[in-house]
Structures are given as structure tokens and as C-alpha cells.
Amino acid sequence: MKRLAAIAAGLLIAGVPFAVAADISLPGIFNSLKQAFTPTSQDDEIAIGRDAAATLLGASKPIADPAVQQYVNKVGLWIALQSDRPDLPWHFAVVDSDDIDAFAAPGGFVFLTRGLLLRLHNEAELAGVLGHEISHVILKHHLKALQKAARMDLVSQAAKVGMASKGYDSDLDQELMDKVSNATRNLYSKGLDKDDELAADRMGVVLAARAGYDPYGLLAVLQTLEAVDPHSSKMQLLMATHPAPADRITALSESMAAANFDRFGKLAEVDGRFNTMMKGLVENAKKAKAPAAVTKK
Amino acid sequence: MSRWLGLCAILLILGAVHAAAVATAQTVVAGNLTSGPYSDASVVAAVPNGAAVTVIERQGGWYHVKTAAGQDGWLPMTAIRYNSTTSGTAAAPGTDWASLFSSGREGSGGSTATTGVRGLNTGDIANAKPDIQAVQSLDKYQAKPEQAKAFAAKVPLKANPKIGWLPEVKP
């Protein structure tokens, strides 16, 4: 037994210089093997995340409502500051879709659709949604899945882009973009593992509570989603990429009960400024509609 | 006079539909209606599975409800499931922003329900073309830590860094 361990240790030690040497002469498989054991630097993660975010925003643009965008950035950053990664360049945005979903991309990108925002009732519910997405970033769920999908080539690619740092017009940037974009289209239309979603629910609730919000906001949102027809087009993407709301409610409520979260039930819901912001969103939609009605005539 | 009343009634109905639809739900388990939002509160009545309730408000993990028989009390959140509204959202307490938004967008003409509705389905993601400018446009909305902290302090929201992680409970 001891001898086996010694052999294994010897192989590991011998493997290090071998992998480094191979990296220079033989890219490809050795490179991939090396990366399997190399943690991604934060810069690499941000470069990958920026390209994933660009792909997601290619499907749905940020809404042109600065007040709403600034609001979600303040709420979101306040929650992210309670996490283990407060220093990421966090970006939050509401995207222009009436369907119901939210996404995260590596490096601190968090998006939710207007359709989801319009179904929330207070800031604590928004905190639950943002907390869930922030948790995907903290736990590197998408980063790991994207690396796996792109056969772990992304890190070296991202590092090269970082070294070149010539902006988006360089060939290296384009190469990384193509790889990340392909992997993103695939991953975000299929979704993460169910366990990743449930883990993000659990962590998101704690982040919201640490930020001073009523931690039952996320459960309330899941109950709202449970009441929407799962076969409606509004729910197609969410249902294709997440466990059913009822399953998430069961798992999350049991975890919260086990940790006696009832004691945090009186934390803040914050509906005043949330409602003011939502009124503005509705009013802006009316204003945007007015000129269109004139041109029709 | 009666025309006045009729107008008032219409306005009231419109207002109710828009501002706060009645929050209706059904129980999904049999349980006890309690006098307060905590597990050791006194029992008001037993409620069977499938009972219709009106949800008045939520406090933490509890809903303040009224039963069809008029009994008033509290149920754990997970004891109910919301009915859905015609706008395709939950009949939860609070403003139905989704229907306010769509009626605002339709304008007074109101007939073209799908005008300007933007979808986002798996196909849209699977065919997405990267938009770098859209990512760069997000920088101008970014908050600084001081701004986020000041925004939280207005409520005030107090950070509770000591709250521990939730355990995974296997079924």
C-alpha cells in the first residue's frame, strides 16, 4: 500500500516537468491535461465570461432604461459584496425579452429578462434571483462547463488573449470568441446539471440573507414561476434549462427548514423603492409606445 | 347619478384588475391554520388538502390567508400553490406589473397583444451571434461598492456576514 502511494507520488512529481516540457513541443493533448490541473486565473475567467456574455446579449439586448439598469446593479453588487468574490467586475442587466429567465456568465455577468422582473413583487424577491445567479458565478458552474465543452482549451486561449491584449480585432481574440461562443450557445440552451441549480438556490438564499434581505424571496419567486403554465412559450427556455419550480421549492424549503431559517423571516422585503422603479419601467414603455402609434396613422 | 355609479364601478373594476388582482391559491397539503407566522402559534383550524384560500400577505416563510369559510390565519409557504391569472402570472399578493406593462405597451388601441413582444427561447440562444458592443454598453450602468453600500444603507439593509451556508437535504 505504501509502495503504491510512493509510486503514485513519483509519477505525479515526474509528471510535472514532463507536462511543462510537452507544453512547448506538443500542444493539444498534453496542454489539455495540464489545464485540467491548472486553476483558471481571474483574468482568464473574465475574458471567457465577456465572450459568453456577448453571445447571450446577441440573443437578447439590454433594455434602454438607465434607471432600471442602475437599480439592478446597485442591488446586485450589494449582494455580491457579501460573497467570497466581492472584487469581480460585477455587471448586472435586464434584457429585452418578455419571456421568463435569468442567466449568469463567468467573471461576474448576471442577466435577467424583463419578463421575469415584471413578475417580482419586492426587492427581496429580486435579491433571491440575483443571489442565485451570483452563486453560479461564485461556484464557477458555467466556467467549468464551458471549459469541459471546449475540451479545456479555453484557459490557454484566454491567457494568450490576455498577453496580446490588443482588443477584439486580433486573431487570438477571434479564436477565443469562436470557441466560447460555440460552447455558450450549446450550454445555455441545454442548461447546467440539476445539482448546480439546486446548489445555486441554496447559496443564493444565504447571500440574500447576508445582504439583509428576507431570504424567503427566492421561494416566493419559485412559487410565482410554479403558477405559470410550464408549456407556455414564456417558460420554454427556463423549463428546458432548469429543474421544475416545484422540485426546487421542495429541495430549497427543506434546506432552509433544516437550518432554522424561520429566524430570518423578518428581514427586509423592501417594496417602496422597488415599486417606484417598476412604475418607471411601465411609464417608459408607454412613452416608447406613443410615437409608434403616431407613425401608424 | 346612476351613470356616475356605473362609471365608478367600471373604474373600480379596472383598478382592481390592474393594481392588485385577488391573490388566490390552493393548499397542497392538509395542515393547521395558525394564529401567527410561527410554528408554535396556536391552531385556528385544520385545513384539508386542496382548500381554496385567499393570500393577504407573506411574512418570511409564512402566508397570511383567509379560507373560503372566512377563517383568518397563517400557513407555511410551502403549504400552498398559487392559482394563475389570465396574464399568465401567479395570483400572488402585490402589483401585477406584467399586465400593467403589456397594457401600457399596447396603448389605448389595445388590440394587438403581441405587438413588440420579444421572445427568448432555446433556439434564440442556440443561434445567437456575439454582440461585443452590448457587453461594453453595460459598463456605464455598473455600480461602485460605495454606491451599493449607500443604497443598502438607505433601507437600511444590514449585512449579516455570519449566516452560515445551507445544508443539502437529500430526499
Average pLDDT of every residue of chain A:
85
Name the least confident of A250-259, A278-287, B4-13, B47-56: B4-13
The rounded percent of chain B whose pLDDT value lies above 90 is 68
The contacts found for A189-194 with CB under 8 angstroms, 24 or more apart, are A189/A237, A189/A240, A189/A241, A189/B122, A189/B123, A189/B125, A189/B126, A190/A240, A190/A241, A190/B122, A191/A240, A191/A241, A191/A242, A192/A136, A192/A141, A192/A142, A192/A145, A192/A241, A194/A243
The whole-number pLDDT of residue B2 equals 54
Mind telling me how many Å the CA of B2 is from chain A's nearest CA? 33
Q: What does residue A236 show for φ and ψ, rounded to 5 degrees?
A: -60, -50
Report the alpha-carbon distance of residue B160 to residue B2 in Å, rounded. 58
Using CB atoms within 10 A of its CB, is residue A29 exposed (0-12), middle (13-18) or buried (19+)?
Answer: exposed
Q: Is the pLDDT of residue B101 over 70?
A: yes
Q: Residue A191 — pLDDT band, cuts 50, 70, 90? A: very high
The whole-number pLDDT of residue B111 equals 44
Q: Is the pLDDT of residue A291 over 70?
A: no
DSSP 8-state assignment for residue A184: H
The whole-number pLDDT of residue A7 equals 45
Whether B153 has its CB under 8 Å from any CB of chain A: the answer is no
The rounded percent of chain A whose pLDDT value lies above 90 is 70
Complete DSSP assignment for A91-114:
EEEEES-SS--EEEETTTEEEEEH
> Which regions of chain A does DSSP assign to beta strands (E)?
91-95, 102-105, 109-113
Residues of A in contact with B163 (CB under 8 A): 206, 209-210, 264
The whole-number pLDDT of residue A8 equals 44
Helix H or strand E segment including B34: strand B31-34
Work out the average pLDDT over A264-273: 95
Higher pLDDT, B92 or A64: A64
Q: Is the pLDDT of residue B41 over 60?
A: yes
Residues of B in contact with A283 (CB under 8 A): 104
Report the alpha-carbon distance of residue A256 to residue B167 in Å, rounded. 8
Report the alpha-carbon distance of residue A205 to residue A200 in Å, rounded. 8
Interface contact A202-B118, CB threshold 8 A: no
Scanning B24-43 for CB atoms below 8 A from A yields: 37-39
Q: Is the pLDDT of residue A135 over 50?
A: yes
Quote the cell numbers at residue B158. 444590514
The whole-number pLDDT of residue A21 equals 40
Name the least confident of A104-108, A179-183, A280-284, B113-117: B113-117
A168, closest residue in chain B (CA to CA): B132
**B29: number of Cβ within 10 Å:** 14
- Using CB atoms, pick whichever of B58, B148, B166 lies closest to residue A259: B166
Whether A66 has its CB under 8 Å from any CB of chain B: the answer is yes
Report the alpha-carbon distance of residue A125 to residue A216 in Å, rounded. 8
Using CB atoms within 10 A of its CB, is residue A291 exposed (0-12), middle (13-18) or buried (19+)?
Answer: exposed
* Interface confidence (ipTM) of the complex: 0.86
Strand partners for B82: B25
- Using CB atoms, pick whichever of B118, B132, B163 lies closest to residue A210: B163
Q: Give all strands of the β-sheet with A109-113 in edge-to-edge order.
A: A91-95, A109-113, A102-105
DSSP-derived pairing of the beta strands B31-34 and B24-27: unpaired
* All residues at 6 or more sequence positions from A113 whose CB lies less than 8 Å from its CB, including other chains: A60, A94, A95, A97, A98, A99, A100, A101, A102, B120
Scanning A251-290 for CB atoms below 8 A from B yields: 251, 253-256, 258-259, 261-262, 264-268, 270-271, 273, 275, 278, 281-283, 285-286, 288-290
Name the least confident of A16-30, A49-63, A115-129: A16-30
Quote the cell numbers at residue B58. 407573506
- Using CB atoms, pick whichever of B88, B97, B116 lies closest to residue A232: B88
Q: Is the pLDDT of residue A280 over 70?
A: yes
- Angle, helices A123-138/A217-226, rounded to nearest 10 degrees: 100
The whole-number pLDDT of residue B73 equals 97
The whole-number pLDDT of residue A297 equals 36
Work out the average pLDDT over A23-30: 49
Higher pLDDT, B14 or B86: B86
Q: Is the pLDDT of residue B171 over 80?
A: no
* Ramachandran bin of B36, using left for φ above 0, alpha for ψ from -120 to 50, beta for the remaining angles: beta
Q: Is the pLDDT of residue A170 over 50?
A: yes
Helix (H/G/I), strand (E/B), else coil: A185: helix
The whole-number pLDDT of residue A163 equals 55
Asked if the bond preceding B130 is cis, omega within 30° of 0, the reply is no
Q: Is the pLDDT of residue A27 over 70?
A: no
Q: Residue A216 — pLDDT band, cuts 50, 70, 90? A: very high
The whole-number pLDDT of residue A235 equals 94
Q: Give all strands of the β-sheet with B52-59 in edge-to-edge order.
A: B43-47, B31-34, B72-76, B62-67, B52-59, B24-27, B80-82
* pTM score: 0.85
The whole-number pLDDT of residue A16 equals 43
Q: Residue A149 — pLDDT band, cuts 50, 70, 90? A: confident
pLDDT in tens, B103-154: 887 765 444 444 578 999 999 999 999 999 999 999 999 999 999 999 999 9
The whole-number pLDDT of residue B14 equals 45
Average pLDDT of every residue of chain B:
86
How far CA A204 is from CA of A94, A133, A183, in Å, comes to 18, 7, 25
Work out the average pLDDT over A223-236: 93
Using CB atoms within 10 A of its CB, is residue A10 exposed (0-12), middle (13-18) or buried (19+)?
Answer: exposed
Mind telling me how many Å the CA of A284 is from chain B's nearest CA? 9
Report the alpha-carbon distance of residue B94 to residue A275 in Å, rounded. 10
The rounded percent of chain B whose pLDDT value lies above 70 is 81
Q: Is the pLDDT of residue A181 over 90?
A: yes
The rounded percent of chain A whose pLDDT value lies above 70 is 76
